Each structure stands twice: as C-alpha cells, then as structure tokens.
Amino acid sequence: MYVRSLGKASLKVSLARGGTEEGSNQTRRQGRDFSLSSGGAVCQMRVCGDKVTGTDCGEAAASWLTEALSRDCRLVRQTHQRTAKTPSSASGSGEAPLLSLANEAQYLLVTRASAEYLLSEISKRHTKQLLSLDDLVSRFRPNLVVSGNGMEPYEEDEWSEVTIGGQRFKVTGRCSRCRTICVDQTTGSRSSEPLQTLLRLRGSRATFGVYLTAQAFPPDFDDQCISVPQTLSTTTLW
C-alpha cells in the first residue's frame, strides 16, 4: 500500500501478513519510497468505543503521518478479524458478520436519490450553495453509491436485501449520523451542514444510508468484481 502526500516521499506499507523474515519492523529507502513491513508491536485501540487488537507499523510510519497531518499519529493494522454487534441472523449463516476496522457493518450504501433530495433541502435553507452533490456524498463515506431510474429518496430504508451483479447483500440497519458528516473530506474544515438539515428531516437519529452484510459469495466470485455500470435489484421489507 502506498500513502502519498504532496511534497513528501511516499510511504510504502506491506499488506502481506507476517511482515519480514525476521518478523520485525524494518525501514529502508527505496528510491523515493520509505518501505516498512507489517510486523511490529501488538497494541490495543478503540474504534468508536470497541476494543480492537492491532499491530503497530513502527516509528517510520508514525513520523511520516505525524508530519503529513500535523498531529501525533500511529499507523496500526488489524491483526484479527472481529464480529459485528448485529443480530446473529445478519450474515445469513447464523453468525454475526466479520468486520475489519469498520465499527458497525461490512459495507455502507447510500443512494444518489437520497443525496439529491437532501442537497435540495440544504439549498432551501441557505442563500449560497454550500456543497456540490459529490461533496455531500463524500461526507457520508459510503462504500457503495447507487442510482437508478425512478429511485425515490430514502427508499433504501425499506430494503431487506440488495443484489449487485451476482452478489447478494443483507440490509442490517440504517446508519445514524453524527457531527463527522460536517467535516469536509478534502480540507478538514467544519460546518453545520449537512447534519443540521438532516436532523430536521430525519429526527434525532439523523439516519442516512444503510448497512450491508455480504451473503455467501457465488462460486465464480473470485473472477468478478462490483463495477459501474452493474445491475441492481432490491427486496423490500413488506
């Protein structure tokens, strides 16, 4: 994995399990890249209140990120998969779905129809345009953004299953939003929107988007991927 920042040599981090042959952090200069392994000290961290065990990627990565972001940082990779705090039926196998460093679910889906409606409501409350549609969508940090002819705002709230291409996903709940969506994902600046309008439209939980859990992958899924355009079908709760 390469991490890049303007004016800095890129940071190259191995995603292979096990790290180097010695199993320790090693830093070396490769042209303009700082390269380091994944082996390091085991540590505990919190993801939205949940304790997660991880492996520290070392001082070189920490120094690089601290300088790039102007705040103290550590780069940590997850060492063990963990399960979601969702009902046991969420994965379709009688077990809670496995998660990486996400705090609630494997995937988050939003629709452009819902985003367009929210943007129109924000525009009614302000004399100048605060956000573009793409900026607004990025605030919600989804894995999947879907659109289609005739799709209505917030109809995803009533979906129970989603199929994209040949892969099925179970909808496991709505995503409640907090002040994080008020942070510009490019500049880091903060504003009152879109949370202010979302609270007015959706109530105190301010839900936007739905959580998805992947069902059993089809036998030939290794040779497939979710791409654009691809057919989307849904099953509703009623």
Q: What is the mean pLDDT for each group of 10 consecutive residues in the chain (238 residues)? A: 84 64 35 48 78 84 90 83 53 58 83 97 92 95 92 96 88 93 90 96 95 76 64 76
Structural domain count of the chain: 2
Q: Are residues 73 and 109 in the same domain?
A: no
Residue 30, strand partner residues: 33
**Residue found under tokens 């994965």:** 91
Q: What is the mean pLDDT of the chain?
A: 80
Domain containing 43: what range?
2-80
Amino acid at 216: A
- CATH number where 141 lies: 2.40.33
User: How high is the pLDDT of residue 155?
Assistant: 95
Against a cut of 0.95, is the pTM above it? no
- Domain assignment present for residue 188? The answer is yes
- Domain assignment present for residue 51? The answer is yes
Q: Are residues 52 and 140 in the same domain?
A: no
- For residues 159 and 170, what is the distance between their CA atoms, to the nearest angstrom? 9
- Domain assignment present for residue 174? The answer is yes
Give kind and range of the element (H or E) at residue 123: helix 112-125
SS3 content of the chain, % helix, strand, coil (to 5): 20, 30, 50
Q: What is the DSSP string of 46-112?
A: EETTEEEEEEE--HHHHHHHHHHHTS----EEE-S-EE-SS-TTTTSSSSPPEESS-SS-SEEEEEH
pLDDT digits (tens, 9 = 90+) for 30-83: 334 444 544 578 888 777 777 778 888 888 889 999 998 889 998 888 776 666
- Domain assignment present for residue 88? The answer is no
